Amino acid sequence: MLHSTTLHRSALVLLLGTALIAPAFAQSDSITIVVTDEPKSLDPCDTDLSNNARILRNNVTETLVNLDPANGEVVPSLATEWRQVDELTWEFKLREGVTFHDGTPFDAAAVAAALTRAGNADLACEVGLATLSGNVFTPEVVDAQTIRIKTGTVEPILPNKLSTLDIGAPSTPADAKTREPIGTGPYSLAAWNAGQNVQLVSYDGYWGDKPAIANATITWRAESAVRAAMVDTGEAQIAYEIAPQDATSANDHAFPNAETSLLRIDQSIAPLDDKRVREALNLAIDRDGLIGTIFHQDAQKAMQVVLPSVFGYNPDIAVWPYDPDKARSLLEEARAAGTAVDTEIVLYGRIGIYPNSSESMEAIQAMLLDVGFNVRLEMMETTPWLEKLIGPFPADRPPSALQTQIDNTEGDAVFTLPNRFTSGGNTSTIADPALDKLIADASAATGDERQSLFRQAFNYIAVDAINIVPLFHMVTIARVSPDLNYVPDVQAGNEIKLATMSYK
């Protein structure tokens, strides 16, 4: 089998050779952006998955509010103002003079339809299964520019949550997913050429400032070296997720991306139902050895799945040490107690989830084998990996740990914990009533009580129950053409902000 470095070099030589024959340089009215993989969906209700959101969010579709990347504050978008009417009711005033790409006026009825559609269980919308799960949202149209949203239980930060609800046109099918999103954003969908690219074109009727670049193409390549070379040859102007070893150019920009990498433990399946085994998983990993080699040198060791900037983060949880001897001892202790520690555990990884994703899992597999685990690595493309990530899960599944990332650009722990760590969460492999109650109580609380309860929840996950194998708070590298005005921010992993880009 060829070493990955050989593959990188071969791909790079091939791409450069092609470029020498027919170089492709951008025109002032067009831009090409290369990402790691194709979107799973372009439905407005599926933007809780980042590879969908980065194409749609604030390009094709928009939300009622946005979050300021500098400080996480809620700022106007399709809504211009909002207020809490009572404990269970919020009111939003909508922007006037906005139309969808099909000419339909944007109004309160459109918001109500989008919210209702997102909560339709039969559609299995990602935003409904994740951010908006665990509550009932009832829209009430007051007039064309005013909507009230009533909730089944208290939602003290409902505006923050609605920053994840992309509004599609009323013509969007109510009972089926669409591949042709119609939004209010600065760009409309020109084509989704399956397996090749997505093409966007600026919308002449946009309510805001006209984008400086009229045509955008988003394409995908799995290899970091290929993505980087595409910018160097003029085939693309931005390439995301450049691996540290490929970041050799002054045009490479490193930035924190709000993602935390981890292994999700399927702890209901033996031998992972033994806490000692889960602790041994954590102690077996040399995180210091991974930083600056496989992971970026600025990656920070993690103990919980949100960054310190997120409300509810617990500063008192120490990161796991590397202690292979104790890991071996814990496995022997579990074996003596009757736990079948020699059972094969599958490590499920996703190709391209971040740079060096395969190499990172190979290194972790070697570390686990070294302390006595019986582990098998299975790297997958995005679609089969999503089947492992999202429930319901088959009862006869093997014990496993899943490579994943969790992002939180919304600034509050409620955007992370309910979906991923409660019994009803669609990506959760945990069924723990005590944790369910702790997260539910925190989600309904405010102020100091909210912060205290969320901190307790993070401590419970990381220390008391050991539900995860946290790895790193991540750093992303983007290669940007020197001819382009664009500086990636913390939201760049979820949003390709085309309207902010221009040529020098």
- Tell me the helix, strand and coil percentages in the chain, rounded to 5: 30, 25, 45
Tell me how far the alpha carbon of residue 487 is from its chain's centroid: 20
Secondary structure of 235-281 in the HEC alphabet?
Answer: CCCEECCCCHHHCCCCCEEEEEEEEEEEEEECCCCCCCCCHHHHHHH
Neighbours of 357 (CB within 10 A): 21
Cα dihedral 501, 29, 52, 113, rounded to 10, equals 100
Tokens (6 digits) for 193: 């050429």
Give the model confidence (pLDDT) of 79-122 as tens digits. 999 999 999 999 999 999 999 999 999 999 999 999 999 999 99
Decide if 139 contacts 111 (C-beta within 8 A).
Answer: yes
Q: For residue 6, what pLDDT band results from cuts at 50, 70 and 90?
A: very low
Hey, what domains does the chain have and what are their CATH numbers? Answer: 4-43+182-255+476-503 (3.40.190.10), 46-162 (3.90.76.10), 257-475 (3.10.105.10)
Give the model confidence (pLDDT) of 394-445 as tens digits. 999 999 999 999 999 888 999 999 999 999 888 999 999 999 999 999 999 9
> Hey, what amino acid is at 340?
A
- Rounded CA separation 339/332 (Å): 9
- Rounded CA separation 115/79 (Å): 14
What is the pTM for the complete model shown?
A: 0.85
Encode burial over 159-171: b for 16+ CB neighbours within 10 A, e otherwise. bbbbbbbbbbbbe
Give the model confidence (pLDDT) of 447-496 as tens digits. 999 999 999 999 999 999 999 999 999 999 999 999 999 999 999 988 99
Give the model confidence (pLDDT) of 174-230 as tens digits. 999 999 999 999 999 999 999 999 999 999 999 999 999 999 999 999 999 999 999
* Secondary structure tally for the chain: helices H, strands E: 14, 19
pLDDT mean across residues, the chain = 93
pLDDT over threshold 70, residue 359: yes
Decide if 73 contacts 157 (C-beta within 8 A).
Answer: no
